Amino acid sequence: MGQLAQAVSSRDNSRAPECKNPSMKAPDSFDGTQAHKLRGFIQSCQLIFYNNPETFFSDRKKVLYSTSFLTGRSEKWIEPYLSNISNEDLSYPLNNWKLFETQSFTLFVNPNEVRKAG
């Protein structure tokens, strides 16, 4: 019985080393002028989210990260929302990834493409 307890005790102390998530390339910025690049931008962001769930555990964190890569027209669209960053309503685009994604496609992509995004 003593050997079993010792084996269990030593097993608990020899946990597997923590594995770091592989580093990933940050998304390319999106300026809103090339609609065909939006899908790639969104997918790049989603890969980062899936690879780092402990960091991107909320829609708000996902949206705020993504907005840091917006430039030009797309940055001008998000600026008014950022000026009211303390708004925590779930119907607010900064707090709702799906809404952010849908509004991005609505504003910057052909309406036929919007249907494919949903």
Report the C-alpha gap between 46 and 42 in whole angstroms.
6
pLDDT in tens, the chain (118 residues): 566 556 555 555 555 556 677 788 999 999 999 999 999 999 999 999 999 999 999 999 999 999 999 999 999 999 999 999 998 888 889 999 999 999 999 999 976 655 454 4
* pLDDT value at residue 81: 93
Is 30 in a helix, a strand, or coil? strand
SS3 content of the chain, % helix, strand, coil (to 5): 60, 0, 40
Nearest to 100 by CA among 33, 25, 69, 72: 69
φ, ψ at 30 (rounded to 5°): -125, 125
Place of tokens 């949903």: 118
Residues 6+ apart with CB under 8 A from 94: 60, 63, 64, 67, 81, 82, 85, 87, 100
* pLDDT value at residue 115: 47
pTM value is: 0.75
Q: What tens digit of pLDDT does each residue of 62-88 get?
A: 999 999 999 999 999 999 999 999 988
* pLDDT value at residue 10: 55
